[in-house]
Structure 1
Amino acid sequence: MTVTVVSVSDTAGGAEAHTVALGHGMRERGHDVVLYGQCPGWEERGLVRREIGLGPKWSRKTMAAGILRVPLERHRTQVVADASIYYLQFKREQIALTAPLSRRAPVVWTEHGRWMGGPAGRLLLAGYARAAEHVSRVVCVGTAVARDLEPVVGRDKLVVVPNSIDTQRFAAPSAEMRATLRERLLPRHFQDRRVAILASRLHGAKRHDRAIAAALASGSALVVVGEGPDRERLKRLGAGSADVHFTGHRDDVPDLLAASDLYLYCGAETDGTPTCVLEAAAAGLPIVAFDGDPGTELVPSCGGLVIGDPSELTPDRAAGLLELRGSGLSYVEQRHGREAWLDAYEQIFGECLR
């Protein structure tokens, strides 16, 4: 089959990584895959990309102008070649482009997170409901995401496929390899310390200041991996401590996880199943999460602790977490491995073609 992805994003986030993994996996299984638009990491995996001329991804800042562009962008779908399946995952593409594309082939959406609130969320929901009349399947990364959508999409079109990771890429290291990675990757004054890590897009909605406060309360050093609009504020919060180290964007996240002792997860209200938690667990790390954040139901299975306030991560509790190292490995391999995830998408696409 030919799977055509229509997606425009210049942000290297979880949804984009999901798209690249799906495109690469489907190609490895012998299907033709092409992207119309832009997705960080797509061409780096040798996948085919073509231009479509859409405007920027919708956000609170771009939505008003984006809505005015809808008639033009619908017209531009004429440059998209015929396909077996059209795959969409961002609200602009779903709301604006599903109807014209569905006249040519089944359309499948993926929903990565909980529905946003406020006026913007209510405005999008009306357009989303109309567009959902033309979609064949909506793949949700978790049951909470599906519950949000059931009133406007209908249960018959919804299917839950949990996020996956490449468990081989994030495999737990041997003691010798871990020591080598710590020496190579960590600041010198971190190497004999208990090291916490977070690897995420640094956005204010995720409230990563909680991770900084928890690390300091526990007497742990903290490595912050990632970029985003909240980075400068977070750097100011950690500026008074030599125990907080910002790396910026890194391509060697699996190695940095392997060099660390525990993972601090902070999630935004609209997050779905956090792949960062799965990646950390696959690397053998115990997880510390915050009560009320999306995805915390994963923590007992992945090995770790859910706290309500950063001050609850005392030095003794942090030290006790190290005994949980590796306890999430089998869960992640069995429930969130890449091959079963690709099987599910391949089955969904096949069902849409019958």
Structure 2
Amino acid sequence: MTITVISVSDTAGGAEAHTVALGKGMRQRGHSALLYGRCPGWEEHGLDRREIALGPKWSRRTMVTGMARVPMERRRTREIADSSIYYLQFKREQIALTAPLARRAPVVWTEHGRWMGGAAGRLLLAGYARAAEHVSRVVCVSDAVAADLAPVIGRDKLVVVPNAIDTRRYAAPTAATRAVLRERLLPSRFQHRRVAILAARLHRAKRHDRAIAAALASGSVLVVVGDGPDRERLERLGASSADVHFTGHREDVPELLAAADFYLYCGAETDGTPTCVLEAAASGLPIVAFRGDPGTELVRRCGGLVIGEPAELTTGRATALLTGRGGGAAYVEQRHGREPWLDAYEQVFAECLR
């Protein structure tokens, strides 16, 4: 079968990594995967891509102008080739493009996070409900995400498939391997310090300033891996300390995780199953999360620590945390491996074609 993805995003994050992994996995299983739009990492894995003139990804800032573009963007679906399945994961594509695409082939959505609140969430809901009348299946990354959508989309269309990672890329390193990676990847001033790390899309909603404050409160240095609209603000916050280092977007995240001592996770209220937590746990890292953020139940299952405020991560607690290295690796291997995840998506696609 051919899975055609329509997705426009310029910043690497969990949803984009999910899309690339799905396209790569379907191709490895003998299917075709084609992207219309942009997705960081897609072409780097040799996957086929075509341009389509859609506006920017919807956000609170772009939503009003984005909705005004809907009639024009629907007409642009004529440029999209016939396919077995059309796959959509962002609200603009789901709301604007599902109806015209569904006349040609089944449409499948993935929902990565909890439904947004406030005026923006209410504004989207009516259009989302109308578009959902035409969708064949909605894959939700957690039971909580599915519960949010159940009042809008019939339970018969909802499928829960938890996020997964390629566990072969992540492993708890030996002490010797970690020493080599620290020397090669970290600033020299970090190599004999306790190293905290976060690797995520840098967005204000995730409040990554808490990670900076917690690392400094614990006497640890912090490596911030990733890019996004909040990077400039975070760099200003960290500029007064030599103990915070920003790397930008990196392709060697597994090696950087292996070089660190523990992971600091900050989640936005709409996050679903955080892949960064899965990657950190699979790398053997103890994880610190903040109470009230999505995904903290996953952190606890991986043996991590949940705190209320950054100041609660004292030097003593950070030191004690290191005795729990490797505690979450087995859980991630058993529950969040890539092959069962691909099996589930392949089954969803096949059911839509029957």
What TM-score results when the alignment is normalised by the length of structure 2? 0.98
Equivalent residue of 1:319, what SS?
helix
Provide the residue aligned with 2:114 in structure 1: 114
Instruction: Give the AA of the match of 2:83.
Output: A
Provide the residue aligned with 2:76 in structure 1: 76
- Distance, in Å, in 2 between the alignment partners of 1:20 and 1:110 is 13
Provide the residue aligned with 2:131 in structure 1: 131
Identity of aligned residues (%): 81
1:240 Cα deviation from its structure 2 partner: 2.4
Structure 1 vs Structure 2 CA RMSD:
1.1
Equivalent residue of 1:104, what SS?
coil
Equivalent residue of 1:59, what SS?
coil
Equivalent residue of 1:151, what SS?
coil
1:275-334 deviation line (CA, Å, top 9, x unaligned) = 000000111100000000011110122221001111111111111111110011111111
Say if 1:264 and 1:289, in contact at 8 Å, map to a contact too: yes
1:171 Cα deviation from its structure 2 partner: 1.8
Instruction: Give the AA of the match of 1:276.
Output: C
Aligned residues: 354
1:32 aligns with 2:32: yes
1:342 aligns with 2:342: yes
- Distance, in Å, in 1 between the alignment partners of 2:187 and 2:257 is 14
1:229 Cα deviation from its structure 2 partner: 2.2
Say if 2:195 and 2:220, in contact at 8 Å, map to a contact too: yes
1:232 Cα deviation from its structure 2 partner: 2.5
Say if 1:116 and 1:270, in contact at 8 Å, map to a contact too: yes
1:186 Cα deviation from its structure 2 partner: 1.3
Say if 2:282 and 2:328, in contact at 8 Å, map to a contact too: yes
1:212 Cα deviation from its structure 2 partner: 1.1
Provide the residue aligned with 2:331 in structure 1: 331
Say if 2:11 and 2:201, in contact at 8 Å, map to a contact too: no
Provide the residue aligned with 1:5 in structure 2: 5
1:20 Cα deviation from its structure 2 partner: 0.6
1:55 Cα deviation from its structure 2 partner: 1.7
Provide the residue aligned with 2:59 in structure 1: 59
Say if 1:114 and 1:269, in contact at 8 Å, map to a contact too: yes
Provide the residue aligned with 1:260 in structure 2: 260
1:283 aligns with 2:283: yes
- Distance, in Å, in 1 between the alignment partners of 2:239 and 2:12 is 26
1:142 aligns with 2:142: yes
Instruction: Give the AA of the match of 1:87.
Output: Y
1:104-161 deviation line (CA, Å, top 9, x unaligned) = 1111000001111111111111000000001010000111111111100121111110
- Distance, in Å, in 1 between the alignment partners of 2:124 and 2:279 is 32
Instruction: Give the AA of the match of 1:234.
Output: L
Provide the residue aligned with 2:50 in structure 1: 50
Provide the residue aligned with 2:245 in structure 1: 245
Say if 1:303 and 1:325, in contact at 8 Å, map to a contact too: no
1:43 Cα deviation from its structure 2 partner: 0.9
- Distance, in Å, in 2 between the alignment partners of 1:34 and 1:321 is 44
- Distance, in Å, in 1 between the alignment partners of 2:89 and 2:292 is 25
- Distance, in Å, in 1 between the alignment partners of 2:292 and 2:339 is 31
- Distance, in Å, in 2 between the alignment partners of 1:147 and 1:27 is 31
1:233 Cα deviation from its structure 2 partner: 2.2
- Distance, in Å, in 1 between the alignment partners of 2:83 and 2:226 is 36
Provide the residue aligned with 1:219 in structure 2: 219
Provide the residue aligned with 1:312 in structure 2: 312
- Distance, in Å, in 2 between the alignment partners of 1:335 and 1:61 is 37
- Distance, in Å, in 2 between the alignment partners of 1:242 and 1:106 is 53
- Distance, in Å, in 1 between the alignment partners of 2:40 and 2:266 is 23
- Distance, in Å, in 2 between the alignment partners of 1:186 and 1:9 is 29
Instruction: Give the AA of the match of 1:285.
Output: L
What TM-score results when the alignment is normalised by the length of structure 1? 0.98
